[in-house]
A and B are shown apart, each in its own frame.
Chain A
Amino acid sequence: MSVSGPAAQPPKVPLLHDPRFRGLLVQAVTALTLGALLWVAVDNAAINMRARGIPTNFDFWNRTSGFDVNQTLIPYSSLSTYGQAFQVGLLNTLLVAAIGIIFATLLGFALGVMRLSDNWAARSFATAYVETLRNVPLLLQLLFWYNAILSPLPAPRASLAMPSVALTWPDAGSLGLAIGAGALALLAARFARAQSPGSAAAMLAPIGAALGWIVALVALFFGAACFVGAPGGGLLHWGGPAGVYLNNRGLLLPNPSFGPGAEWVLAALAVAVVASLAYGLRARRLQAATGRQSPVGLTSLALLVLLPLLAFVAAGNPVTMDYPVLRGFNFQGGLRVNPEFVALLLGLSLYTAAFIAEEVRAGVQSVAKGQSEAAHALGLRAGPALRLVVLPQAMRVILPPLTSQYLNLTKNSSLAVFIGYPELVQVFMGTVLNQTGAAVQVIALTMAVYLTISLATAGLMALYARHTAWAER
């Protein structure tokens, strides 16, 4: 006989003794107290600042700045506002952070893999690199690069000019010769790759391949430049200024300006990109179905280079180059890469690459040795085994610290104030703060900007991690 009647009710507890209610109450009181403290702090600061005549709002945002910045991605002059100075600084920070992250990642992965290679020279070099660059403070490295770059370079009047013979190959013969040399280097790399993995010849394969691509692309670039209107003549011109100079004010390059037919070139480039992507997808599906590989890399490169080139010639050379010319103290015209920018980029990339190398090494070592043994048993060479089997599994261990390194790089760019690169801290938290006196607002805004950049970077990396993750066991 079971007990009949309604199910037993939980015992009635007074509200104050209910653990859930008490938990909520403590949290609410803490939140309110923190909120009250924060409000009191802000209010107190505002009252004191107002009493001393220090600005307490963002009125300075639309006032004329009165100072110039020597490197801007947007149009800016001393008649622009403080708000525009903020944008200039922000864009410069993002530029150096983005390019720095790319370089640091590439170099870091290469070094991490080198530290694990069988080749004694590669391993020792990578170890020495990591140990040295990790342990020297970044500011010293930045100052070193800035002085190391500036000291040996000559003054503008004695600039190192790119030899003009390079731009004036007048005939298809020379151009073909250069492209042929590149193709030969690529063939040599292919041959080296066919050797057994781990031998010295196989190590040279990626170097040979890289050299081959570089030679071929450089030849194509200069060959294309022959078609463009160099000062004093076009395709059949001998001699004349090459338009590339190196001095202690920076690297000067000709600045391409796009004429009326330029949209065709861009359209051709877009078509080429879409075509290569489509071909790549088709090749992957073909390989999954039948196991046959297609020359995706070579074909994509051919498409990306030749299609725009054809459109270029067909549209009647719509791109004209603005060559830098020495007038008085400096070169006028052309495109200039500042030594401050280069020093900052080098310093940041090399420093962060040392840390990324260690993280990559940790990731690769975390993958069971059986994985690479199985890959070799399947017939995969060292390169594809690493790329297709080991690294994807290692990424799970590499990604979280890699995100931290990216955030570190972005924040470390604020050291640029010591070498005169006009990024956010230098322009906004330095000059603008000093001229307007609005210290609290400027610093709070700078902190908010760095926080936003960091959160965005971390969010993107988390998305990437989720996208490439596979099912847990």
Chain B
Amino acid sequence: MKQLLIAAGFTALLATGASAGTLDTVKQKGFLACGSNTALAGFGMPDDKGAWTGLDVEFCRAMAAAIFDDPTKVKFIPLTAKDRFTALQSGEVDVLSRNGTWTQSREAELGLHFGGVNYYDGQGFMTRKKNNIASALELNGASVCVQQGTTTELNVSDFFRSNNMKYEGIAFATADEALKAYDTGRCDAFTTDMSQLYSERLKLVNPDDTIVLPEVISKEPLAAAVRQGDSQWFNIIRWTHYAMLNAEEAGVTKANVDEKMKSQIPEVRRLLGVEGDFGKGLGLTKDWAYRIVKHVGNYGESFERNVGENSKLKIKRGLNNLWSKGGLQYAPPVR
């Protein structure tokens, strides 16, 4: 009899589905669960003291700053490429900021929404200098190491097929295994997003023996992802990114944000919450964008700090510059 009652209790518990919004859950937990990379220089990597740094890491910190006014209220959960989407779908993480490519099948079939594109990337190849090739079109018959479960596998297959070339693809569970196989000579070329190529090359035994080939064979818009079915949460991740872009456009930096609070320019006043309350619709406070810039900085600062001139990767802004400077980063206005 007792067992029947317990069983009935379990059944009742199971029957209730999840109904609280993600923002409320996050506020209740007291921290943001951010799905991040295991170790990718420039995007998401713990440094030698265990503190997480990177472009995607700072995006999560910006969200935490907007919600809690404290960029340290984030828990980083390292995920491999294979289980990142399952972790997000199941609710283990609230947001996936892990240089994931925004594709139609991921949005339509995996039940995810992708937020602001924080890095426009493309896929490329790297190979040994002593192979004496100058273009990816000379890779006919080569062995190529890829990381499993990524758009990389699909793109490399498309590239070789559309150019009528043959190749042998060896897929590994993690980028480290794939890179090691390339280093020992198992493959002739290693392929992944261009931004990753530069950072992975630093991990080789002899980085100078490897060159990155010039061809960019795909479009890889890297964006943060959240689950479908929660519009408010989706708005928050998009507008976090747009706030950082608008701040850079308006010239607001981490150093001068306090000073800019006194500005008379309407755009700056609306952004920083001096005029109007644009945070309310997002479920946040009216100084939501001020918090982001104060604790993290604007997009340009974050970029230069992690992957640009002030970092080891030294990647140029290129496509990731503001639209007004010839790049693709364009944010809708805060008004």
Write the residues of chain A forming the contact surface with B, with a CB cutoff of 8 angstroms: 29-30, 33, 36-37, 40-41, 44, 47-49, 51-55, 66-70, 78, 147, 150-151, 155, 248-249, 327-330, 332, 339-340, 417-420, 422, 426, 430-431, 433-437, 439
- Minimal beta-carbon separation of B13 from chain A (angstroms): 10
How does the 8 Å CB contact mask read for B254-275 relative to A, with 1 for contact and 0 for none? 0000000000000000000000
Within 8 A of A (CB), among B122-180: 131, 139-143, 145, 148-150, 153-154, 157-158, 161, 166-173, 177-178
What's the Cα separation between A426 and B169 when bound, in Å? 13
* CB contact between B161 and one of A29, A44, A52, A78 (< 8 Å): that residue: A78
* CB contact between A249 and one of B15, B131, B143, B171 (< 8 Å): that residue: B143
Write the residues of chain B forming the contact surface with A, with a CB cutoff of 8 angstroms: 3-4, 7, 10-11, 14-15, 17-18, 81-82, 85-86, 89-90, 105-106, 108-112, 131, 139-143, 145, 148-150, 153-154, 157-158, 161, 166-173, 177-178, 181, 184-186, 188, 227-229
- Minimal beta-carbon separation of B138 from chain A (angstroms): 8
Quick check: B14 and A330 within 8 Å, CB to CB?
Answer: no
- Most interface-central of B17, B142, B173, B227 (chain A CB within 10 A): B173
Quick check: A329 and B141 within 8 Å, CB to CB?
Answer: yes
* CB contact between B154 and one of A41, A67, A417, A420 (< 8 Å): that residue: A67
- Minimal beta-carbon separation of B202 from chain A (angstroms): 21
Quick check: A70 and B169 within 8 Å, CB to CB?
Answer: yes
What's the Cα separation between A437 and B96 when bound, in Å? 15
Quick check: A330 and B186 within 8 Å, CB to CB?
Answer: no
What's the Cα separation between A329 and B145 when bound, in Å? 14
List the 3 shortest-distance A-B pairs measured between CB atoms, nearest first.
A434-B149, A53-B111, A437-B110
Output the nearest chain A residue to B140 by Cβ-Cβ distance: A328
Quick check: A51 and B148 within 8 Å, CB to CB?
Answer: no
What's the Cα separation between A419 and B105 when bound, in Å? 28
Output the nearest chain A residue to B15 by Cβ-Cβ distance: A40
- Minimal beta-carbon separation of B174 from chain A (angstroms): 8
Q: Which of chain B's residues have a CB closer than 8 A to the CB of A329?
A: 131, 139-143, 188
What's the Cα separation between A109 and B254 when bound, in Å? 71
Q: Which of chain B's residues have a CB closer than 8 A to the CB of A430?
A: 82, 148-149, 171, 173
Quick check: A150 and B188 within 8 Å, CB to CB?
Answer: no
Quick check: A435 and B10 within 8 Å, CB to CB?
Answer: no
Quick check: A150 and B7 within 8 Å, CB to CB?
Answer: no
**18 additional contacts (CB under 8 A) given A68-B153, A434-B150:** A51-B229, A67-B157, A68-B157, A78-B154, A248-B185, A327-B141, A330-B141, A340-B170, A418-B173, A419-B177, A420-B145, A420-B170, A431-B171, A435-B154, A436-B109, A437-B106, A439-B85, A439-B90
Quick check: A418 and B177 within 8 Å, CB to CB?
Answer: yes
Quick check: B149 and A433 within 8 Å, CB to CB?
Answer: yes
- Minimal beta-carbon separation of B240 from chain A (angstroms): 22
- The answer to whether A248 and B186 touch (CB under 8 A), given A330-B168, A420-B172, is yes
Output the nearest chain B residue to A78 by Cβ-Cβ distance: B157
Quick check: B149 and A435 within 8 Å, CB to CB?
Answer: yes
- Minimal beta-carbon separation of B150 from chain A (angstroms): 7
Q: Which of chain A's residues have a CB closer than 8 A to the CB of B158?
A: 66, 78
Output the nearest chain B residue to A415 by Cβ-Cβ distance: B173
Q: Which of chain A's residues have a CB closer than 8 A to the CB of B108?
A: 53
Output the nearest chain B residue to A417 by Cβ-Cβ distance: B173
Q: Which of chain B's residues have a CB closer than 8 A to the CB of A78?
A: 154, 157-158, 161
Q: Say what secondary structure dominates the interface of chain B.
A: mixed
Output the nearest chain A residue to B154 by Cβ-Cβ distance: A66
- Minimal beta-carbon separation of B15 from chain A (angstroms): 6
- Minimal beta-carbon separation of A457 from chain B (angstroms): 26
Quick check: A332 and B141 within 8 Å, CB to CB?
Answer: yes
Output the nearest chain B residue to A39 by Cβ-Cβ distance: B11
- The answer to whether A48 and B149 touch (CB under 8 A), given A330-B143, A431-B171, A434-B81, is no
Q: Which of chain A's residues have a CB closer than 8 A to the CB of B7?
A: 33, 37
Output the nearest chain A residue to B111 by Cβ-Cβ distance: A53
Output the nearest chain A residue to B189 by Cβ-Cβ distance: A329
- Minimal beta-carbon separation of B200 from chain A (angstroms): 17
Quick check: A426 and B229 within 8 Å, CB to CB?
Answer: no
30 inter-chain pairs at a CB distance below 8 angstroms, sorted by A residue, are A33-B4, A33-B7, A37-B14, A44-B14, A48-B18, A51-B229, A52-B111, A52-B227, A53-B112, A54-B89, A66-B153, A66-B158, A67-B157, A68-B157, A70-B170, A147-B184, A248-B184, A328-B140, A328-B141, A329-B131, A329-B141, A330-B143, A330-B168, A332-B141, A430-B82, A431-B153, A434-B148, A434-B149, A435-B149, A437-B109
- Most interface-central of B81, B171, B177, B181 (chain A CB within 10 A): B171
Output the nearest chain B residue to A330 by Cβ-Cβ distance: B141
Quick check: A150 and B184 within 8 Å, CB to CB?
Answer: yes
What's the Cα separation between A48 and B14 when bound, in Å? 12
Output the nearest chain A residue to B181 by Cβ-Cβ distance: A420
- The answer to whether A249 and B186 touch (CB under 8 A), given A44-B15, A329-B143, is yes
- Minimal beta-carbon separation of B146 from chain A (angstroms): 9
Quick check: B17 and A44 within 8 Å, CB to CB?
Answer: yes
Q: Which of chain A's residues have a CB closer than 8 A to the CB of B178?
A: 420
- The answer to whether A437 and B111 touch (CB under 8 A), given A40-B15, A67-B153, is yes
Q: Which of chain B's residues have a CB closer than 8 A to the CB of A439?
A: 85-86, 89-90
- Minimal beta-carbon separation of B294 from chain A (angstroms): 34
Quick check: B142 and A431 within 8 Å, CB to CB?
Answer: no
Quick check: B109 and A55 within 8 Å, CB to CB?
Answer: yes
What's the Cα separation between A426 and B105 when bound, in Å? 21
What's the Cα separation between A92 and B82 when bound, in Å? 20
Q: Which of chain A's residues have a CB closer than 8 A to the CB of B141?
A: 327-330, 332
What's the Cα separation between A50 and B104 when bound, in Å? 18
Quick check: B228 and A52 within 8 Å, CB to CB?
Answer: yes
- Minimal beta-carbon separation of A435 from chain B (angstroms): 7
* CB contact between B4 and one of A29, A327, A431 (< 8 Å): that residue: A29
- Most interface-central of A33, A47, A68 (chain B CB within 10 A): A68
- Minimal beta-carbon separation of B70 from chain A (angstroms): 29
What's the Cα separation between A48 and B16 when bound, in Å? 11
- Most interface-central of B15, B173, B181, B186 (chain A CB within 10 A): B186
